[in-house]
Amino acid sequence: MRATEAAAIAAGRVTGLALMERAGAATITAIFETWPARAAAPGHALVLCGPGNNGGDGFVVARLLAARGWQVTVRFFGRVETQPPDARVNHDRWAELGPVLPLDPAAPPPLSPAPDLVIDALFGIGLSRPLEIFAPLFAALGACGAPVVAVDLPSGREADARPEAAAWPACPADLIVTFHRAKPAHAALAPGAMLRVMDIGL
C-alpha cells in the first residue's frame, strides 16, 4: 500500500494531502451507506486520532462530520510537533473549528452518556508493536454501546496478520473502512465486523 501511494505521488497523479482528504471522505460515505438513518439525524461523534497519518484521516473525518451537522469531540494521542506533514495540516484545519482534547489511553475519558458514533483513527497499517497501554480504552469502547468505525484497521491489529500479533489488545469495530485493497489482517478479523473497501483513486 505504501509503495502504491508513493508511486502515485511520485508520478504527480495525486498528493499525500489529497489522498488523506479522499480517505476521510470515503469513510464518511461508507458510514452513511451502512447506516443511512445517521445521515439524516446527526448526533454526537467521538473521533480518536493517533500520531500518524491514520490520525490525519481522523481529523478529516471529524471536519466532514461537523460540516454535516454532527457534534464532534476530537481526542488526540500524540504530539503536534512530531506529526507527519499532511496529518499536521489536517490537525490544524480541525483546530480552527473545535478543540483538540488530549487522550490518555490508560485513563479513558468518561463515555457516559455514550456518543452516537466512535471513529477509531488511532493506528493504521504501520503498527508494529502491541498496544497494552490502550487496553482500558479499548474495553471502555467495547462497553459503551456506540458503533465503532475503524479507519483502515482496528487499532491494535497488525496489517500483515503475523501470528504473534493475534493476541495483541485491539479496538472493537463494527465497521472497518479500508482503502484501495483489503489488507492481510482483514481476513482474520472477527466475523461480526463489516468491511468496506473504498476507492480513493489509486
- Residue 124 marked in a binding site: yes
For residue 73, how many other CB atoms are within 10 A of its CB? 17
- Residue 54 marked in a binding site: yes
Q: Which residues pair with 37 in a beta bridge?
A: none
- Residue 200 marked in a binding site: no
- Residue 43 marked in a binding site: no
- Residue 153 marked in a binding site: no
Phi, psi angle pair for 49, to nearest 5°: -115, 135
- Residue 112 marked in a binding site: no
- Residue 90 marked in a binding site: no
Q: Nine-digit cell at 135?
A: 487496553
Contact in structure between 79 and 111 (CB atoms under 8 Å): no
Contact in structure between 73 and 46 (CB atoms under 8 Å): yes
- Residue 126 marked in a binding site: yes
The beta strands (E) that lie in the chain are given as 44-49, 71-76, 100-102, 117-121, 148-151, 175-179, 194-198
Cα–Cα distance between 98 and 20 in angstroms, integer? 20
DSSP structural state of residue 112: -
- Residue 53 marked in a binding site: yes
- Residue 125 marked in a binding site: yes
The H or E element that residue 83 is part of is none
Binding site for (6S)-NADPHX, by residue number, is: 53-57, 124-130, 152
Binding site, by residue number, is: 53-57, 120, 124-130, 152, 155
Binding site for K(+), by residue number, is: 54, 120, 155
